[in-house]
Amino acid sequence: MGTCSSLRRNNRREFSAALVLDPFLLLLLLFFFQLVFFSQRSLADNSASLNVTKYRQVSSLRLARIERHLKKINKPAVYTIESPDGDIIDCVHKRKQPALDHPLLKNHKIQRVPPEMPKAKMMKTDGVRDTNTSSSGTRGRAWQYWHHSGQRCPKGTVPIRRSSVNDVLRAKSLYDFGKKQRKMSLARQADAPDVVSGNGHEHAIAYTGTSQEVYGAKATINVWDPTIEVVNEFSLSQIWVLSGSFDGSDLNSIEAGWQVSPELYGDSRPRLFTYWTSDAYQATGCYNLLCSGFVQTNSRIAIGAAISPISLANANQYDITILIWKDPKLGNWWMGFGDNTLVGYWPTELFTHLADRATMVEWGGEVVNSRPNGEHTSTQMGSGHFADEGFGKASYFRNLEVVDSDNSLSSAQAISTLAENSNCYNIKSSNNNEWGTHFYYGGPGRNSLCY
C-alpha cells in the first residue's frame, strides 16, 4: 500500500513538473479542456421543456468550418438588438443581406416598387390578432418577441436573427443546418403532394386540386406552443405553394407559417418561418435566411424570430395572416404578413415550375414522429387538441383563399382534407360567412389509440 501510495504521489509531482517545464503541453491541455467545456455549453437548450444538452467534442478544424459558414450568413450589422428571449437581431443593410449571395441573383436588383396586392375584400388584420369570440379585434402591435425590447431597426436595414455555433452544432451536420431532411421516398398519394407516409412526417392538411392554375394563397392561422418530445422533432403550421412533379426531383415549393423546432432554434417558442426549394428538398433552399435566396424588404419583421403573444386554451386566441402571391408584373413571389405588410420575396430566378405558376396549395400542420422509445411521439400538432374540440381548444386555419391569374383573391372551394393517422392528429373542415372556408386540426400525438 505504501509503495502504491508513494507512486501516485510521485506521478502527481512528475505531472506537475511537466506542466511547469513544458508550457506547450500546458497550452495543449488547456485548449482540450476549453473544447470540452465549449461543446457542453454550446449545446445547452434555452427551453424549459426540453434538454438538448449533448456531449460532443468539437475539433478545431470543424469549429473553423462552422465559423467560416456563419461569417457568410451573419452579415455585418449596422445596429444590433438583444431580444428578451435571448435572440440577437442584427440590422443589416438591405443590399448586404444573404439573399444576394445566390449565384442566380448576382445581377438582381432589389424590387423597389411594391407589388400590386391581390384584389379582395380585406379583413382588418394587423400582425398578431386577438380573437376572443367569433369576432376579432386587433390587440397591439407586439408581433414578435424582440419588439418587447422597444428597439427597431433603422430605415434601409432588415432585421436578421443571428445564427450561432450552438445552432449549427444541434444540426446533424453543417450541410444539414437550416434544411429540411431529404425525404427517403417521394412516393405519395396521387392527390396529396408533399405528404409522404412512413418517413416520420405526419400531416393534417387541406389542399386544392392538382389541375388548377394558382398564383398565390392566403390564410389566417392561430398560434400555439405545442410540446415537442425530443430535440430532432418539430411541429409546424404553414401554407405550401407548390408546382412540379410530386414524384420526381423537380418539385418547387414555397412555404411560410409558424413552427416550434428545438433543433433549429434551441428553444420551444413558436416562430415565424419561411422555406423554399426548387428540387424537392435535395440541395436548394433552406429555412428563413439561413442560405441565400429570399430577399427581405421589411425592417420590422424578423423571419425566424419568436411570435408574441400566443393562444391559450379557453382564453384569448391570437392568430397571424400569411399571404404568398406572384407579382403579376415582375414575377417574384411575395410574402405578406398581417394587414398588407410586405415582408419580402422569393425572386422568380430561383425556380423552374414556379417561375410560371403554382398548381397546388396546401394549408395545415406537420410534425416529425421519430418514434422515441419505439412508440409514437407525444409531440403535439397545433394546440395539442383534436379538431372536434373546436374554438378555444383546437387550432384553426380560417379564411382560406387562393389568388387567380387576374391577381384576385377568392375563397378556396372544393378543398380536400387528409390526416394519415387520425387517432394521433386529425382535421375537420367547414364553411361560413365570417370565416369562409376554414378548418380545425391537430392532436396530442401518443394516446391510448395512437401508439
CA distances from residue 176 to 41, 172, 182 in whole angstroms, order as listed: 21, 6, 9
Q: Tell me: the pLDDT tens digits for 303-357?
A: 999 999 999 999 999 999 999 999 999 999 999 999 889 999 999 999 999 999 9
Q: Give the list of residues 6+ apart from residue 194 with CB closer than 8 angstroms, or none.
A: 188, 240, 242, 246, 251, 253, 362
Is 63 among the domain residues? no
The answer to whether the CB of 377 falls within 8 A of the CB of 154 is: no
Residue 60, domain member (yes or no): no
Catalytic residues: 255, 366
User: DSSP state, 61?
Assistant: H
| pLDDT-derived band at 185, boundaries 50, 70, 90 | very low
Asked whether residue 54 is assigned to any structural domain, the reply reads no
Same domain, yes or no: 375 and 425: yes
Average pLDDT over residues 246-267: 94
Helix (H, G, I), strand (E, B) or coil at 378: coil
Sign of the torsion angle spanned by Cα atoms 406, 410, 414, 420: positive
253 and 316, same domain (yes or no):
yes
Q: What is the pLDDT of residue 110?
A: 97
Is residue 451 included in any domain, yes or no?
A: no
Task: Please indicate, yes or no, if residue 62 is contained in any of the structural domains.
Answer: no
Task: Assign 27 a pLDDT band (cuts: 50, 70, 90).
Answer: very low
- Is residue 199 located within the same domain as residue 256? yes
User: Strand, coil or helix: what is 188?
Assistant: coil
Q: Are 30 and 96 in the same domain?
A: no
In a domain, 407, yes or no: yes
56 falls within a domain: no
Q: Quick one: pLDDT band at residue 109, thresholds 50, 70, 90?
A: very high
Do 378 and 332 lie in a common domain? yes
Helices (H), 171-314: 262-265
**Residue 434 DSSP SS3:** coil
Mean pLDDT for the stretch of residues 14-19 = 38
Query: Do 346 and 417 fall within a single domain?
Result: yes
Judgement on whether residues 139 and 38 belong to the same structural domain of the protein: no
Domain that holds residue 400: 68-442
Q: What is the DSSP letter of 301?
A: -
Task: Determine how many CB atoms are found less than 10 A away from the CB of residue 2.
Answer: 6
| Total structural domains within the chain | 2
Do 357 and 209 share a structural domain? Answer: yes
Give the number of C-alpha atoms closer than 13 A to the C-alpha of residue 114, restricted to the C-beta side.
Answer: 10
Beta bridge partners of 328: none
Mean pLDDT of 232-241: 97
Question: Do 105 and 145 sit in the same domain of this protein?
Answer: yes
pTM of this prediction?
Answer: 0.84
| Shared domain check, 132 and 80 | yes
Residues 33, 120, single domain; the answer is no
Q: Is 47 among the domain residues?
A: no
